[in-house]
């Protein structure tokens, strides 16, 4: 009698191959279509004065001085933190650029270069590229604008992180 119940119950169980599917998707596949990311238009900020920049530490291995103009930080709905960065060499050369960081993909984009007369030249390379380990963008990503890989909520949060020497979630 017990043997008959087990055999009968065995006929009710789905086969292993059929149990892997539900509807037309395999188990574990997303049911929503993947959304296509669309970048918001980036407008060039007013060229910041050199006095407004806030320095931040990148590495003892680099003799350069790194700074961000806090008033230029923006957090957009497209998930990009945009800012004006400055790199000053020991010889006094100052390189200013308008850039963006995508926290979800750990990518950086250069929008424009600054000139000594306070004007911008748009970058010819309009592609996103991976943040290079050890770069100043890697430091901005990890310690200021994308702590734990999550984008800051407001520009003020990024400016505060710069003034405090790092984001509170990283310390």
**Domain CATH for 63:** 2.40.128
- The per-residue pLDDT string of the chain (171 residues; one tens digit each, 9 = 90 and over) reads 555 444 445 555 554 554 455 556 556 666 566 678 889 889 999 999 989 999 999 999 999 999 999 999 999 999 999 999 999 999 999 999 999 999 999 999 999 999 999 999 999 998 999 999 999 999 999 999 999 999 999 999 999 999 999 999 987
Rounded-to-integer distance, Cα 91 and Cα 60, Å: 17
Please state the pTM of the whole predicted model. Answer: 0.79
The pair of structure tokens assigned to 159 is: 């400016």
Q: Does residue 13 form part of some domain? A: no
Q: Does residue 31 form part of some domain? A: no
92, 137, 145, 157 from 148: Cα distances, Å: 34, 15, 10, 15
Domain encompassing residue 117: 50-164
Q: Does residue 65 form part of some domain? A: yes
Q: Is the dihedral of CA 94, 95, 96, 100 positive or negative?
A: negative
Split into its structural domains, the chain has a count of 1
């Amino acid at each position: 009698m017990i043997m008959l119940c087990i055999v009968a119950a065995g006929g009710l169980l789905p086969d292993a191959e059929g149990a892997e599917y539900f509807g037309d998707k395999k188990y574990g596949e997303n049911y929503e279509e993947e959304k296509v990311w669309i970048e918001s238009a980036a407008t060039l900020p007013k060229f910041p004065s050199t006095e407004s920049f806030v320095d931040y530490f990148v590495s003892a291995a680099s003799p350069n001085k790194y700074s961000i103009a806090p008033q230029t930080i923006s957090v957009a709905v497209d998930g990009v933190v945009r800012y004006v960065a400055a790199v000053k060499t020991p010889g006094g050369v100052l390189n200013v650029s308008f850039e963006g960081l995508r926290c979800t993909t750990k990518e950086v984009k250069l929008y424009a270069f600054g000139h000594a007369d306070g004007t911008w030249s748009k970058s010819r390379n309009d592609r996103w590229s991976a943040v290079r380990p050890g770069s100043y963008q890697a430091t901005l990503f990890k310690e200021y604008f994308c702590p734990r890989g999550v984008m800051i909520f407001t520009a003020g949060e990024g400016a505060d992180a710069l003034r405090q020497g790092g984001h509170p979630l990283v310390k």
